[in-house]
Structures are given as C-alpha cells and as structure tokens.
Amino acid sequence: PYYVGINQNLYLQASLYSSDPLLQLFLDTCVASPTPHNFTRGSYAIIENGCVKDPTFTRYSSPHRHILRFRFNAFQFVQSNSEVYLQCQLVVCRAYDYSSRCYQGCVHRSKREASS
C-alpha cells in the first residue's frame, strides 16, 4: 500500500523492461475502485480509452518512450473505507507505428443499442 492524504498529488510511473528500444507505452485506461475485486460497478475513471476523465490528471514528459509518468489528486470514495484501489491498462506499441493504439490518443467509443 501507498499512503497519501486527500487532495495530495499521487505520482505514478510505469516502466517497460525490454531489450527492444523501439517499444513505447501508452496509458489507455486507469480506474479507481473502493474494492480490489470490482473495477466496474462503483468505480471512478481517471483515464478511459486514452481520454482524461479526472480534471486533476496530468501527464508528464519522460526521457524515454518506455517510461510513462502521470499524477492525479488523491481522493476517497464517499461512504467507504479509506482505501482506494487503482487498476491501469497500458498498451505496448512499436515506436513510430502511427497506425498503432499509442498514436490514436483519446478514442471516444460510442455505445451500441442491444437488439433482441
């Protein structure tokens, strides 16, 4: 566990360890949950499909493609214990592959109607 006060900045870094220097990381989705077992119901999206959802989120530049750095303000779920669990989905892409997910950025996915 990592302890931080409410509204303090929480800094995160993800690193890809590979001998291939042409790989890079992309933060696709990052979701917070009051429980470690369910990241859908009652969760809070910080990043979703590459789109920033939390106004306190800041992405930092990195000296390397294989290192991703960002921050957001720490918070607590209402009527919950003081623990917040974070689950992030990262995408690994080949650098300079402009058709890859890493270069698409924010993708707004439309909701579909379920037919009978």
pLDDT tens-digit readout, 62-106? 988 899 999 999 998 887 778 899 999 999 999 999 999 999 999
Indicate the pLDDT class of residue 60, thresholds 50, 70 and 90. very high
pLDDT over 80 (residue 49): yes
Q: According to the model, what pLDDT value does residue 77 have?
A: 83
pLDDT over 90 (residue 57): yes
| CATH architecture assignment, domain 8-97 | Sandwich (2.60)
Domain boundaries, the chain: 8-97
Q: Please say whether the dihedral angle defined by the alpha carbons of residues 89, 94, 100 and 106, taken in this order, is positive or negative.
A: positive
Rounded to whole angstroms, the Cα distance separating 95 from 61 reads 16
